[in-house]
Amino acid sequence: MRRLSSWRLGPPIMAILLILVIWQICVSLFDMPAWMLPSPVQIIQEGIAIYPRLLGHTLSTIQIALGGFAIGVSVGILLAVALHLVPQVRQSVYPLMVLSQNIPIIALAPLLVLWFGFGDLPKILIITLVCFFPVAVSLIDGFRQTSPTLKNYMQMIGASRRQIFFKLEWPSALPYFFSGLKISATYSVMGAVIAEWLGAQEGLGVFMTLASSAFRTDQVFVAIFVIMAISLILFGFILLLEKWLVPWDTDQKEAHKDGE
């Protein structure tokens, strides 16, 4: 899996502003009805108006998204480490892991609700299911990419299996881990919304279902913007964490960029 490179803030913000401006102009130019496509200004106004009601839904979504993300990532790490340290297990479990990603969530979610009720558990399970996979796969790849020269060196100086894992394999897989983590982070918010959409009392997914069936397209867009914002903030937080925990890799990349 290739690494996702870190980005700079200026260009993407300009691009987003440009899209919003074009959008605004098109809506007024073609005189679009608000139930078909509201303008960005209308969406922002609606967002401010329904803010108190939206806040509860947003917090609820953030809560299960983060909960599911944390559990999913933990499961991903544990699986990757187990599969790496016990190769016999890898052969039998790896295909199952891939199969787990082929279960259609749309079919699974109602079943989970049927089995575990309308509480948080079925939702967290769905998010865990979509989040563990990118982390597990990228970590396993990372472990396998460990330099054979360095491994030979560690063995020659008498390092134990445990020391080789913690001093060599884990740090060398860390950049890969962060690639998986970024993908999982965006999946977690989407997973939360889909899970709520299929059965919940609160959350942005519920809010969107209600808004959409009432033809309140402006409110649907408000929810979409909020979801994007949550994903971006989570993503940004992981970038910062990566910069802090993987300085040798991120600094190097920036040095190359400056050299261009």
Contacts with another protein, residue ranges (CB under 8 A): 147, 149-150, 152-159, 163, 167-168, 171-172, 174, 246-249, 251-252
Nearest distance, CB of residue 174 and another protein, angstroms: 7
Nearer to another protein, 75 or 174 (CB): 174
| CA atoms within 13 Å, Cβ hemisphere of 239 | 13
Nearest distance, CB of residue 195 and another protein, angstroms: 37
Nearer to another protein, 30 or 248 (CB): 248
Nearer to another protein, 150 or 190 (CB): 150
Nearest distance, CB of residue 148 and another protein, angstroms: 11
Nearest distance, CB of residue 164 and another protein, angstroms: 10
Q: How many CB atoms within 10 Å of residue 235?
A: 18
CA distance to 26, 39, 97, per residue, from 189 (Å) = 30, 25, 21
To 10 degrees, what angle do helices 51-85 and 87-100 make?
150
Nearest distance, CB of residue 179 and another protein, angstroms: 16
Nearer to another protein, 11 or 148 (CB): 148
Nearer to another protein, 4 or 150 (CB): 150
